[in-house]
Structure 1
Amino acid sequence: MSETKEPAVGALAEVRSVIESLDDKSYVSDAPGIDPMTIGQHVRHILDFYECFLRGAHEGVIDYDDRERNHDVETVRTVAIERIDSLVCALATVTGRERPVLVRQQTVVGTEAERCRTSVEREIAFLESHATHHLAIVSIIMRLIGLAPKPDLGVAASTLAYRNSR
């Protein structure tokens, strides 16, 4: 695995670890006060972005709006784990990290999707950042439903490095 891909794969491993630490009920429990929001929904969202990246990296246009939104991934832990395992394998096949690609994403409701130039390498870095952001929300949901997440769940690597340097 290249250094570029390691953080993105590490984020998937962190998601897998969270799923494995939960029971089926916790995975689909709505967080009180912020309904409807479940851990499974955030897991599905994270994995959808990886799928969009993998599909688009090979086609030359990554469309993060064209997500599958597979209900089974957000409701069945084993399905999510299987999907993570397949994504890790698929990431290993991505080549041409400096290769330019376009990202297509709708930023304002009711307008045409925007396209911007980027690279495979930059989008891999985005996947890790996006996953970390959603793992922070997962951490909050876990607390709201009475679970104790790992203290550094959803904390960016740069924040952890800063904390360790103090």
Structure 2
Amino acid sequence: MKRQIIASINHNLGRAIALLDVIDSKTYQDTSIGPYYSSIGSHIRHTLDFFDCIISGLDTNDIDLTARKRDEVISTDKDAAKDHIYKIQETLTSYTDVNTDYLIHVTDNMGQGKITVNYTLESILAHANSHAIHHYATIGYMLEQLGVSIKIPGFGYNPTTPVNKREGI
């Protein structure tokens, strides 16, 4: 199962690379779309931060999703973002044959302070992938508002969305 989850995540991260290959830097950095006035780059950076927290905390069995790096270079530089995606994909692939038959402590802030819960590696990776898809959907909305038309099949859609409605951006 872990192999399939990692392959799915890497495929999904590949969609972000496809996006970065076709949009220009101005579009990547644009903060003109409300209501949050964030950039596509900041959404990419945020999704990568989630994976970074997993990778950083796995060895100590203490994944803290509130300890995000928030590297602004990734928010503004498409090439830096792509390089970072490739590193995450390589690291995730290295986990395929690692024994992770134990519970992992994951800390997050649910709105009323930090809380730590137990996950398996597979469950936190599945959560991170769903989180990325959610932000890809926001990116799709932003591109629409910017008048940028790009076709990346499945981008921003959960795989459970009916195929006739899952066009991608």
Q: Distance in 2 between matches of 1:162 and 1:117?
A: 37
- Give me the whole-angstrom Cα distance separating, in 2, the residues matched to 1:32 and 1:163: 24
Give the aligned partner of residue 136 of structure 1: 137
The aligned residue for residue 51 of structure 1 is 52
| Deviation of the 1:160 alpha carbon | 4.0
Q: Which residue does the alignment assign to 1:13?
A: 14
Partners of 1:22 and 1:105 lie apart in 2 by 32
TM-score by length of 2: 0.88
Report if aligned partners of 1:57, 1:101 keep a CA contact under 8 Å in 2. yes
Deviation, 1:108, is 2.0
Partner Cα separation in structure 1 for residue 40 and residue 73 of structure 2: 13
Change beyond 3 A, Cα 1:102–1:161: farther
- Aligned to 2:99, which of 96, 100, 105? 96
Number of aligned residue pairs: give it.
162
1:105 maps to 108
Out of 150, 153, 157, the position equivalent to 1:155 is 157
Instruction: Provide the C-alpha distance between the structure 2 equivalents of 1:114 and 1:101, rounded to a whole number of angstroms.
Output: 13
C-alpha displacement at 1:2, in angstroms? 1.4
Match of residue 118 from structure 2: 117
Q: Tell me the residue number matched to 1:36.
A: 37
Q: How far 1:116 moved relative to its partner?
A: 0.4
Cα 1:122–1:162 change in 2 (3 A) is farther
* Cα deviations by residue, 1:46-98 (Å, 9 ceiling, x for unpaired): 00001001111222111111000000000000000000011111111222343
Unaligned ranges ≥5, structure 2 = none
Percent of paired sites with the same residue? 23
Question: 1:98-133 CA distances to partner (integer Å, 9 max, x unpaired)?
Answer: 331011011125x3x100011001111111111100
User: Unaligned stretches of 5+ in structure 1?
Assistant: none
Asked whether 1:79 is paired with 2:80, we answer: yes
Using the alignment, how far apart are the partners of 1:124 and 1:59 within structure 2?
Answer: 17
Further displaced range: 141-150 or 71-80: 141-150
Q: Distance in 2 between matches of 1:82 and 1:91?
A: 14
Q: What secondary structure is seen at the aligned counterpart in 1 of 2:161?
A: helix
